[in-house]
Amino acid sequence: MIPKEGGEGDPANAKRNLTVLALNSGSSSLKFGLYCVNALECKRLIAGEAESIGEKQGDFHAEDAQGVSLLRERAALPSQKAAIIRLARLLTDMKMPVPECVGHRIVHGGPKLRQHCLIDDSVTNELETAVSYAPLHMPLALAVIRFSESHFPGVPQVACFDTSFHAHLPDIARVLPIPRELSAEGIERYGFHGLSCESIVHQLGQPLPSNLLIAHLGNGASITAVKDGQSIDTSMGLTPTGGIIMGTRSGDLDPGVLVYLARHKNLDARQLEELVDRRSGLLGISGLSEDLRNLHKAADFDPAARLAIDMFCYSAAKQLAAMSVALGAVDAIVFTAGIGQNDARVRALICRRLAGLGVRLDDVRNSESRDPISDGASRCLVRVLPSQEDEQIARHTRTLSLGAMATVRTLTHRVMGRVL
């Protein structure tokens, strides 16, 4: 008789630890984390990032479970493949356990891939067709998957989608105001930063605020309305270009701007993509930098830098206020990601515009990024929490890999049973 085995639902698997490597690729970076994961705990063993990939001087650094620096080296990292080779050597040098499964952050899976899944040839083919939805991110993610498969052969590879958290948006938020035949082709609001939002919900625990706003503010930025743990609206749309102003991305634009540029400036699709994804946002407004740290330094003497900061904060505040309409009330606002977690001035500028929602900050706590940052008179709680995307990747990867391993064991038992 074949024993019944399964994934997370199998009691025998609940306490089983798996060593999971989480990979989070950016346009010129690769974040990584190695975790020991069971059903109750996700314990980091080592984490780090390869930055400035493809530039003359790369930066590779790693830290241990307590956040203590293990190494920092500056050397050329010509490709994502080179970064993975360096990562594999680091794991060996540090005598880390060999990954039993690898999870990948995937920004967009297109209309057919909306749930986290094991990667096989059919999934890879679908990911290749989804490149046009996120051209900044998807080619690099596919390259990382290929390199990971070659460096960790036979290890389950899992795709964790930023769109999954938003997969069940209500029609009023999901459907775009375009002809129905285009909607039927999958042109709709997908939403992004879903793994970050999941991580915030996980950290908040129970009881979860019924009406929650998550401000994921980094080089990419979005606002999400979460009702009883479920995403009901979010600022990004079909692609990660939409929504609020970002580092180099425009956010929402009058569609007539693109029509005008195509008609009168003869810009083709590639040139328009370059403009809205790489030359707009904070960089476009300021003419100086997409990095708010640089803009803060220049703001006292450069009006364009000051305007870029003000427009970013105004854009975020407007979207937070709009999402309060989707929720009907606001119990809590969480700031997360690089800017949201670390830039007290930006948080203050945003929250100052949300006085109508009853938002009040404790200036001292905000300046120290000491959670929570709201004062006792605020009608809603305002918090600062880290985005823990990689931990979410590790959790999903463990669950899906356990299921795959159980299937292999079951098939092996069946084959052996026939042989015997």
Catalytic residue numbers read 162
Question: Residue 50 and residue 25: Cα distance in Å, rounded?
Answer: 9
Count other C-beta atoms under 10 Å from residue 237's C-beta: 20
Contact 257, 286 (CB under 8 A): no
Greatest Cα pair distance in the chain: 82
Question: Residue 92 and residue 19: Cα distance in Å, rounded?
Answer: 14
Question: Residue 191 and residue 198: Cα distance in Å, rounded?
Answer: 13
> Could you tell me what percentage of the chain is helix, strand and coil, using 3-state DSSP and rounding each to the nearest 5?
40, 20, 40
Q: Which two tokens stand for residue 18?
A: 């798996």
Contact 108, 134 (CB under 8 A): yes
- Between the alpha carbon of residue 252 and those of residues 53, 112, 193, 235, 236, the distances in Å are 29, 25, 17, 9, 9
Locus of tokens 């590879």: 157
- Between the alpha carbon of residue 409 and those of residues 2, 329, 371, 416, the distances in Å are 10, 49, 46, 10
Taking the CA of residue 63 as centre, how many other CA atoms within 13 Å lie in the half-sphere pointing to its CB?
A: 7
